[in-house]
Amino acid sequence: MLELKNKIQSFQPISLSEMDEVALMTRIDEKFISSDHHIADILNKINQQYSILEINGKRSFSYQTEYFDTPNNILFNNHQNGKLNRYKIRFRDYIETKKSFLEVKFKSNKGITKKTRISVPFKEKKINSISKKFIESQSPYLVKNLKIKVINNFERVTLVNILGKERVTIDFNLKFKSDISDTKSKISNLVVIEIKREKGNIKSPLFSILKEKKIRPTSFSKYAIGSCLLDKEIKYNRFKKKLLLLNKIT
């Protein structure tokens, strides 16, 4: 991904406080997956329409996410079965800024994503009375029935449209490990692009470029894909085509 890291130097920087003005906690999401060999040309074509998050001179950042599920994988199965009105519950660590959050993401039957979160001590994954109340008030799940199943590490670049409320994340170097066993997996040469914007918001310059390259919107869940790669006992019929596509791309 050296070429990606070189190309992002051509973007104008934006600070974390400026980017937070485009938080988009309730939004429309569109995801795209591609081989990394497309990304340099894509970035070249949008560097006048977007700014890039920069913190202390850095423009790509490390994340760790720990996903909860029930013993019988209800959250995964809801995704596998295509159920709408579904949830993800996770800890997320922002490594460079040393911040951690407990997050609940809800995907409605209208395609709207709503994310709520609370700050927690950095890398302290303890469920206390506050986090228990948060999870149980923001989701239908009881904390006693949840445990961490998948740990996901990746790097991310974040872009902000200079004209409107749109954010773009570009994720790469995806790695997965099980919190139950020693199983590990990674996906090389893959780029996951996500366009996040308000419903009815401005047209996305990036969307137009991706369309030109015949890179089309698709569903992609790091938790679901990680579960498929790590747990050989899990049923994942809905994701077989996605896994074949990933193998083809990478």
DSSP tag of 24: -
Task: Quickly state the pLDDT bin for 52 (edges 50, 70, 90).
Answer: very high
Rounded to whole angstroms, how far apart are CA atoms 213 and 154?
Answer: 25
pLDDT digits (tens, 9 = 90+) for 5-39: 889 999 999 999 888 877 776 778 899 999 998 99
CATH number at residue 123: 3.20.100.30
Type of residue numbered 213:
K
Average pLDDT over residues 105-116: 90
The two structure tokens encoding residue 8: 């992002």
Residue 47, phi then psi, degrees to nearest 5 = -70, -5
Round the average pLDDT of the chain to a whole number and report it: 92
DSSP H or E run through 106 = strand 99-107
Give the 3-state secondary structure of residue 122: coil
- The count of domains in the chain is 1
Task: Quickly state the pLDDT bin for 165 (edges 50, 70, 90).
Answer: confident
Give the 3-state secondary structure of residue 250: coil
- 193, 33 Cβ separation under 8 angstroms: yes
Give the 3-state secondary structure of residue 162: coil
Residue 181, phi then psi, degrees to nearest 5 = -125, -175
DSSP H or E run through 130 = helix 129-138
> What b/e readout covers 178-210, taking b as 16+ CB neighbours within 10 angstroms?
beeeeeeeebeebbbbbbbbeeeeeebbbbebb
- Name which residue leads in pLDDT, 62 or 124: 62
Lowest mean pLDDT across 6-10, 20-24, 51-55, 216-220: 20-24
Type of residue numbered 236:
Y
Rounded to whole angstroms, how far apart are CA atoms 163 and 84?
Answer: 32
pLDDT(139) > 80: yes
Average pLDDT over residues 76-90: 92
Lowest mean pLDDT across 20-24, 29-33, 53-57, 205-209: 20-24
Domain range enclosing 39: 2-249
CA distance to 35, 79, 127, 143, 166, per residue, from 30 (Å): 17, 16, 31, 30, 11
DSSP characters over 42-54: HHHHHTTTEEEE-
Task: Quickly state the pLDDT bin for 200 (edges 50, 70, 90).
Answer: low
- 176, 229 Cβ separation under 8 angstroms: yes
